[in-house]
Structure 1
């Protein structure tokens, strides 16, 4: 059955706003959906008028609570995740990250607990990372509607950041399918040489993937502790998800 174009655009917009709880500019939303700014603005005005979206004082847009996302989701995620992240770091002695999608095809780290070891992986919370070659990014892309992750992978030129980076769209599509099947995503030296990791999904009370919990490690240690680190990430992400559920999120 063919889609009604206008209805499909509204649904794409709602799905995009739900997957990106932080307020976004008109330009960012239009670029993510591959739509003209004028058309995107009309769609946003309609959602705002019906109470599904809100416009902030600095001229950004977010989904309202009635559509499944609130303005303080990042804060609620941190509150649910930080105790779990601290416990996980103490057990595995590696850096723990919590991240969400930003601008459609990048990952923003909301929180981190850095490894106590002298040789460790660290990350700048203010830096946006590409989704296609990071564990958190692949995990989050894999749980987007197909139209959205295809735009993220096919709508831009993907650059090889290391000799190991996968940039072929067909290969990445197969990787995302495997992520959905396994329930976690791993990366080995595809974003930065010497760095590897695993990410698992954090889900809200409605079963939607809203963040990724990541164990980031020096590659040599990840190779030796792979199964233990994967299990640790999956179990910790489930704990964070339960805390979100208990908080009614």
Structure 2
């Protein structure tokens, strides 16, 4: 039998109740009446009313006199936590969520010179001959995350990269000329995402999106990778990308917002 942990003598019940009222609001209950808040929290109507109106006075809740809703001020409650998190720590839980939803491997990387460096990864199965872990490096020009990162470089930095990069055909599909890569980066910049189809290694496909700094520059990239055998035809590949892209973009927005909250 599991022992119930009782509150200690430092426990502040009113604070716990106030937080319970805030947590009662969620995606399915964005607006609630006093009775609904009372029911969801287990508080009496009188107690729920006091907490709701206190939160209204503090600016965390708004009301039209009948229904109550949270305000954006509630987000500040999580900013202190976000401010102490590094980029890999912010990314990791979202990669786990993405991998669970898409049933594919997900990763995040940054640009270091002419290579991408993995800063976080969730793998569902091994899909490359080389194992991928945090710290793994690949040439930026042949990867979806690399192209997203290269597309976000200032013009002068991109010119310097192209001047010094050794573009080699890693597979028969690899774009390995400066002209071809520039054309592809223009496409990535315009559409806001990158798809690489078996250019780093045969049998490997991936789609990536950028993560932005508060100033609008590209901070990192987020991707999902899959085996080519799972999407051999063009319609199947397009369907796979269409399914993954909105989820990747939504995750990118969350991480970008978290980075903004740190500043």
Which TM class, normalised by the smaller chain length? Answer: 0.5 to 0.7
SS of the residue 1:132 aligns to? helix
Q: 1:159 aligns with which of 147, 161, 168?
A: 168
Runs of 4+ off more than 3 Å? 118-122
Q: 2:88 aligns with which of 78, 90, 95?
A: 78
**Counterpart for residue 191 of structure 1:** 200
Distance 1:138 1:95 in 2: 18
Q: 2:114 aligns with which of 102, 105, 108?
A: 105
- On the 8 A contact 1:94/1:120 being kept in 2, the answer is no
Deviations 1:189-217 (Å, cap 9, x if unpaired)?
Answer: 00011001111111122222110011111
Structure 1: tracts of 5 or more residues without a match: 1-72
1:235 aligns with 2:250: yes
Alignment of 1:91-170 (within 5 A): 91-102=101-112, 104-115=113-124, 118=125, 120=127, 123-170=132-179
Deviations 1:25-49 (Å, cap 9, x if unpaired)?
Answer: xxxxxxxxxxxxxxxxxxxxxxxxx
1:177 aligns with 2:192: no
- On the 8 A contact 1:140/1:212 being kept in 2, the answer is yes
Aligned length: 172
TM-score by length of 1: 0.65
- On the 8 A contact 1:204/1:241 being kept in 2, the answer is yes
Distance 2:88 2:95 in 1: 10
Distance 1:221 1:86 in 2: 21
User: How far has the Cα of 1:179 moved from its partner?
Assistant: 0.6
Deviations 1:61-107 (Å, cap 9, x if unpaired)?
Answer: xxxxxxxxxxxx9x6111211111111111001111010001x2100
SS of the residue 1:148 aligns to? helix
Structure 2: tracts of 5 or more residues without a match: 1-82, 232-236
- How big is the alpha-carbon RMSD for the aligned residues of Structure 1 and Structure 2? 1.9
Distance 2:180 2:163 in 1: 12
User: How far has the Cα of 1:125 moved from its partner?
Assistant: 2.5
Alignment of 1:23-62 (within 5 A): none
- On the 8 A contact 2:121/2:133 being kept in 1, the answer is no
User: How far has the Cα of 1:151 moved from its partner?
Assistant: 1.9
Q: 1:87 aligns with which of 97, 105, 108?
A: 97
